[in-house]
Amino acid sequence: MTGTQIIFLIFALFTLGSALMVVTTRNLIHAALWLVATLFGVAVIYTLLNAGFMAVVQVVVYIGAIAILFIFAVMLTRKDLRDNVSQMNKNWWAGAIVAVLTFAGLVFTLQGWSGFSKTAAAVPSGFDAISQLGDKLTSPAAYVLPFEVASVLLLAALVGAVYVAFNKK
């Protein structure tokens, strides 16, 4: 057990535990706050994968924007769904079976793959992932088109969200 593995295990358990709280807790505000904890755990996993930029984007976009948006939505739609009513529908056991089967199927499928237990090669010395990422995202030979399409998608979503949520009265 190296130190990295211990850190991975701690934060993997932290991530999965808070994810379980997200889907089971009764109070939706608490669910949104547990989602923040889950996203933070995933950011630590990105850091362990040498993807520093992804970790920062995870904190800024997911925790800073999306989780806050969820908290706003929960506060705007507060209803007495908390105390005696069940938060889950009556077929929850079927959902649990489907989820467990999906997990088992994924692990079973991956287990038969030859690269399942390979370890990472060391990052080449002098390799700067962030500047490489910037180059690839803005170079016409690489991914500039998906990058621009994503910006158009965000603009369309912005306009659509304002239109849908706008109070006409």
Residue 84: CB minimum distance to other proteins, A = 13
Among 84, 112, 114, 120, binds other proteins (CB under 8 A): 120
114 belongs to the binding site for other proteins (CB under 8 A): no
Asked if residue 1 binds other proteins (CB under 8 A), the reply is: no
Quick one: which of 37, 40, 51, 59 contacts other proteins (CB under 8 A)?
51
Q: Which amino acid is at 13?
A: L
142 φ/ψ angles, rounded to the nearest 5 degrees: -115, -105
Q: Which of residues 56-85 bind other proteins (CB under 8 A)?
A: 57, 61-62, 65-66, 69-70, 72-74, 76-77, 79, 81
Instruction: Give the dihedral sign, CA 41/42/48/50.
Output: negative
Distance CA 94, CA 141 (A): 47
Site for other proteins in 92-111 (CB under 8 A): 92, 94-96, 98-100, 102-103, 106-107, 110
Residues that bind other proteins (rule: CB under 8 A) add up to a total of 89
CA distance 109 to 52: 30
d(C-alpha 159, C-alpha 151), whole Å: 12
Pick out residues in 121-160 that bind other proteins (CB under 8 A): 121, 123-124, 127, 129, 132-133, 136-137, 142-143, 146-147, 150-151, 153-154, 156-158, 160
Residues 13-32, interacting with other proteins (CB under 8 A): 15-16, 19-20, 22-23, 28, 31-32
The answer to the question of residue 10 lying near other proteins (CB under 8 A) is no
Q: Which of 117, 125, 126, 140 binds other proteins (CB under 8 A)?
A: 117
**16-20 contacts, C-beta under 8 A, 24 or more apart:** none
Distance CA 66, CA 80 (A): 24
Half-sphere exposure of 84 (CA within 13 A, CB side): 0
